[in-house]
Structure formats: C-alpha cells, structure tokens
C-alpha cells in the first residue's frame, strides 16, 4: 500500500464552495429514491408498457411481465409512492397510468443513451 497523498487539498476553493452550496439546495435523497424506484427490471418494464398504452389494469400488467398480480401490485405501489404512476378505480378493477412525463422522459433518455428506440 502506498503512503502517497495528494498535496492539493482544494485546487479552486471558489468553485468548490459554489458547487457545495448548490448541492445543499437540492433534494438529492429524493432524486436517488426516484431513481431507485426505476432501478428494477420489472418496474422499468411497467413504465415502458405505460408509455405504449396510456392505461393498463393490474392483471394485464402482470400478464405482460409474466409475474403474479401480488408482485405486480408491489411494484406499482412503489412507483405510485414516488409519484411516477397514478391509479384509477373502476368497479373492482384498478387501472394504472403514468402520473406525469418524468418517468417517460427518464425511460426515453435511458433508451436513447443506449441507442434503442421505444
């Protein structure tokens, strides 16, 4: 193991202070929570499915993902809690759709980054 340490503590103190003050104003924990909600293959598939179809019931989402309704509901609950999807009840059926464009934009940008079209 090397004992070498960098002699520079802070190269540009003004820039460092400006960035630190800026970061202190941002809700970084909230940002990471939203990104964690999307950092699951099934939840990413749910968002992608809701980009294709404006609204889907839990049963259909479960069929699309080929997982149980209980598991699907758990994923939808997490996405709903983060404000990424909204729900609408019609009798016994619950339909889900994107709550706003954030999830769709994140998905589109991620796929574009990977050079995949939606």
Contact status, residue 118 vs residue 108, Cβ threshold 8 Å: yes
**Domains of the chain, CATH where assigned:** 13-113 (1.10.10.10)
CA distances from 3 to 6, 8, 10 (A): 10, 15, 20
Structure tokens at 47: 């968002």
For the beta sheet containing 93-98, the strands, ordered from the edge strand earlier in sequence to the opposite edge, are: 56-57, 93-98, 85-90
| pLDDT band at 103; cut points 50, 70, 90 | confident
Q: What is the mean pLDDT of residues 2-6?
A: 65
pLDDT above 90 coverage of the chain, percent: 50
Element (H, E) at 89: strand 85-90
pTM listed for this prediction: 0.78
Those residues whose C-beta lies under 8 Å from the C-beta of residue 56, and which sit 6 or more positions away, are 49, 50, 64, 95, 96, 97
| pLDDT band at 76; cut points 50, 70, 90 | very high
């Amino acid at each position: 193991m090397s004992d070498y340490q960098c002699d520079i503590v802070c190269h540009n103190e003004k820039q460092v202070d400006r960035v630190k003050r800026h970061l202190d104003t941002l809700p970084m924990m909230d940002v990471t929570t939203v990104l964690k909600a999307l950092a699951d293959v099934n939840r990413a598939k749910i968002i992608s499915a809701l980009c294709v179809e404006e609204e889907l019931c839990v049963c259909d989402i479960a069929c699309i993902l080929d997982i149980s309704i209980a598991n699907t509901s758990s994923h939808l609950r997490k996405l709903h809690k983060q404000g990424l999807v909204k729900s609408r009840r019609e009798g016994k059926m619950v339909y889900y759709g994107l709550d706003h464009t954030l999830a769709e934009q994140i998905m589109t940008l991620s796929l574009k980054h990977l050079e995949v079209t939606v």
